[in-house]
Structure 1
């Protein structure tokens, strides 16, 4: 159950999203990590025992491990093609809380630890080759090295009052398999890693290297079988050479088609508000443009020059009315061209705001106009 739970936790961490682009390491990097260390039950054979729990000729039992932890630091080199090589130092610790299989029931308490180093070869899997652009880089690896195994005093007190104590230190060959993923943090070169590791250490390297002692002066050697550690690890990694690749060339984008104009001028004959053929053509263009650009309101502003059919103050008032009649003519034409009347605002400004400045009482064709503005 503990193994299944830890495997599920590592799987969930490996599936978690992150925000950045996956990194392929080129050059040196360092890595520190720690996590949960789960050791499988280990078989022990006690030779030469003759006390309770260890009859003459020896006895076999198991050491059941409980909680534990692991920690390591590594220095490595990435070759830029996914391959990495590293050396690491390792420390493992595990509590031991039971020793089933003895001939007399008893209570066991103790711990063990291992320390040493590995040389690892790993391969980063570039997800882009599978069409996945994600800020995570899965990796796999194998390692070989040397671990010293030390059993802190493991005491077993039996129901008949006897006890045994197992201890000793010995080193031997060890190997490991690694599956993990690295997550970019957005900080250049800095990644968070999650890993599952299985460490194995053959029992033949530990035969007779450990000892036990018991009540009434008994004692002897202890042989252990193959040892397996299952580890679930969270770490931090920093790569020193992480210059980002050059950005891809910018795509060539065709120039957008010019947008229709938003302002149109319609000109009138002197003292007239009737649209000429050319004026109707311009109004039609404005009506058509209002359907091709985002238009919420059409402003129609009428103007006159400063000449008048009726001179004096009466002429200014006359021109104001003339400018409004010109604007109304344009509005009517826009409506005939399909523009909703509710979208059109009409204004008459008379002689104000001339397009071409002139002297008084001057007939200027460009000032006799209506301006259509699309908003």
Structure 2
């Protein structure tokens, strides 16, 4: 099975998502999982004096474990160092022994926000795994108890389930396809010759946990509410969905009210100021706040306000309406303020 096919398949399965919900991992995190390793039949080539054979050994399902230490960038991307272990026995007529694999992997993953209750992710990794063959015997020949290593690769698809009562803690469930990239040669026990092991492909299913350090306590849900407009109002607030610069129907109504009321008072200019919450990087938020202000200004022009009378500014994640820590999605901070001077 080709690694490229695994990554493509995982990507296709994760495409139909809506980027509008659970906050991506931001900062240092640890994780761990336990489950099963389902090995495909492993190719064995035995050479000995006046003898050679080739066979596919059938492994039994065995346990698998992983531990990881990683860092999330807050935009969906994260990288981690993982330690992996698995154990599988072989069975069949005149076949026995077991194989243990262990070693480090370096993974890069991407989280897809969908809804607060679940966060799918995909990823890929490379590393180095050692495979210990213990009492492996087939065709009447036993290999010595020895360990050989190989570079390894994996594709990952899974999902995290945040626990609302414990900020930063999430249950995880994932599937990994792990392959060893080269064959290993083990000496025979008691006689000359070697046993070559190849086609080591593994389907690993685990459940576990992930804890992100310093995760902020989520704010209580608050529906975005615009300041009511009236003929004497001098400022209006327009709210946006997370990571969006597209006006909602309610936002268009507020902009229309501001444009209509601007004709009823003497004004020198209309200030259109954009803001964001603290999720995402400061650089990204600055650009997003400007895009939001531009969207509101364009709607004002559409509603009859002269373009020359409008000034646009973006303040990013500064001047928060609701004070929060970093990496917090606060609906009332995702806004544009229209000020009639």
TM superposition score category, shorter chain reference: 0.5 to 0.7
Question: 2: CA distance between counterparts of 1:181 and 1:241?
Answer: 21
Out of 89, 93, 117, the residue aligned to residue 87 of structure 2 is 93
Deviation at 1:248, TM superposition (A): 5.6
SS at match of 1:229: strand
Question: Alpha-carbon deviations, 1:148-198, whole Å to 9, x = none?
Answer: 111011134x7xxxx321242111200100000000121111100000000
Q: CA deviation at 1:251?
A: 1.4
Which of 181, 188, 193 lines up with 1:212 in the alignment?
188
* 1:243 counterpart SS class: coil
Q: Pairwise CA RMSD of aligned residues?
A: 2.3
4+ residue segments displaced more than 4 Å: 244-250
Any idea what SS the aligned residue of 2:143 has? strand
> For 1:255-282, what per-residue CA distance to the aligned partner results, in whole angstroms no more than 9, with x for missing partners?
xxxxxxxxxxxxxxxxxxxxxxxxxxxx
Structure 1 32/179 Cα, relative in aligned 2: closer, same or farther at 3 Å? same
Aligned partner of 1:174 among 147, 152, 155:
152
Give the TM-score normalised by structure 1. Answer: 0.52
In structure 2, the residue matched to 1:221 is: 194
- Deviation of 1:245 after TM superposition, in Å, equals 6.2
In structure 1, stretches of 5+ residues that fail to align are: 1-13, 15-20, 99-105, 128-132, 255-375
Rate the CA distance shift 1:183–1:49 in 2: closer, same or farther, 3 A. farther
What TM-score, normalized to structure 2?
A: 0.57
Instruction: State yes or no: 1:201 paired with 2:180.
Output: yes
The within-5 A match list for 1:100-115 is 106-115=93-102
- Residue 134 of structure 1 deviates from its aligned partner by 3.9
1:126 aligns with 2:104: no
Q: 1:88 & 1:59 partners in 2: Cα distance? A: 36
1:183 and 2:161 are equivalent in the alignment: yes
Alignment of 1:171-320 (within 5 A): 171-186=149-164, 187-204=166-183, 206=184, 209-213=185-189, 218-244=191-217, 250-252=224-226
Is the contact between residue 35 and residue 233 of structure 1 (CA under 8 Å) also seen in structure 2? Answer: yes
The 1:239/1:94 distance shift into structure 2, 3 A limit, reads same
Unaligned runs of 5+ in 2: 1-13, 15-20, 229-341
- 8 Å CA contact 1:49–1:59 kept in 2: the answer is no
- In structure 1, the residue corresponding to 2:61 is in which secondary structure? strand
